[in-house]
Chain A
Amino acid sequence: DQQVKQNSPSLSVQEGRISILNCDYTNSMFDYFLWYKKYPAEGPTFLISISSIKDKNEDGRFTVFLNKSAKHLSLHIVPSQPGDSAVYFCAARSMTGRRALTFGSGTRLQVQP
């Protein structure tokens, strides 16, 4: 039972355009969400997070939106750069329960120069 789903295995965008990566979750106990980026042969690198009391969080070129009623979040990268090409993982956890992260299966982003 996948509690965090990333339904798009891959995404290709042109340099300078917007990249939108989507994530859905089913567990209503999740109230803290994170995005990680992973390059080959490296561990996941933390990008940005959002708690359920907010619906938007911004950090430079990265913005995460949370729609609690739809149990959906998205990561926007504007403008996209070739160095953003990586696998992006959405992760979730409950702030009151176990601190372990539940990950989606990832979306591979390719930014074309």
Chain B
Amino acid sequence: DAGVTQSPTHLIKTRGQQVTLRCSPISGHKSVSWYQQVLGQGPQFIFQYYEKEERGRGNFPDRFSARQFPNYSSELNVNALLLGDSALYLCASSPGLAAQETQYFGPGTRLLVL
């Protein structure tokens, strides 16, 4: 079975531009979460979606937005890119929102902002 997939794998943008990252969850999983991992740190939570509704948001500015589609895939959008947005963006999926469910991660999209 396919795991979590993300596209693109790598991306280079310049300051001020906008970017859209895509994620397809494991088949049957209805929850998708997004994390940002800056070099040398652990992943930081950005958003969680379940059944197309936002269920959680981390401490990120409004330049960050996301949505989930009827097929449970998801997009993360970042507007007005800053140099500090350079990071690995990870998507994770889980079957639902049960307390002891494991989140399974994709390989990530590495974004470089110049």
User: Is B15 interfacial (CB-CB < 8 Å)?
Assistant: no
Known: A43-B106, A46-B104, A96-B99. A102 touches B45 (CB 8 A): yes
State in angstroms the CA–CA spacing of A42 and B90 once bound together. Answer: 10
A100 adjacent to B56 (CB under 8 Å) = yes
- List, in ascending order, chain B residues with CB within 8 A of A95's CB: 99-100
Known: A95-B100, A100-B33. A43 touches B45 (CB 8 A): no
User: How many whole Å from A69's CB to the nearest CB in chain B?
Assistant: 22
B42 adjacent to A32 (CB under 8 Å) = no
A100 adjacent to B106 (CB under 8 Å) = no
**Footprint of B on A, CB under 8 Å?**
4, 6, 32, 34, 36, 41-46, 49, 51, 89, 91, 95-96, 98-106
**Footprint of A on B, CB under 8 Å?**
4, 31, 33, 35, 40-45, 48, 55-56, 58, 90, 92, 94, 97, 99-108
- List, in ascending order, chain B residues with CB within 8 A of A98's CB: 48, 55-56
- List, in ascending order, chain A residues with CB within 8 A of B105's CB: 36, 43-45
B58 adjacent to A100 (CB under 8 Å) = yes
State in angstroms the CA–CA spacing of A103 and B48 once bound together. Answer: 15
State in angstroms the CA–CA spacing of A99 and B103 once bound together. Answer: 10
- Closest 6 A/B residue pairs (Cβ): A103-B42, A43-B105, A95-B99, A100-B45, A98-B56, A44-B105
Known: A44-B90, A105-B42. A100 touches B102 (CB 8 A): no
Which among B31, B48, B94 has the greatest number of chain A C-beta atoms within 10 A? B48
B100 adjacent to A46 (CB under 8 Å) = no
Chain A residue, CB-CB nearest to B45: A100
State in angstroms the CA–CA spacing of A104 and B106 once bound together. Answer: 19
Cβ 8 A contact of A106, one of B4, B42, B48, B103:
B42
A101 adjacent to B100 (CB under 8 Å) = no
5 CB < 8 A contacts A-B: A42-B108, A98-B48, A99-B31, A105-B41, A106-B41
State in angstroms the CA–CA spacing of A43 and B106 once bound together. Answer: 5
State in angstroms the CA–CA spacing of A88 and B59 once bound together. Answer: 24
- List, in ascending order, chain B residues with CB within 8 A of A99's CB: 31, 33, 48, 55-56, 94, 97, 99, 101
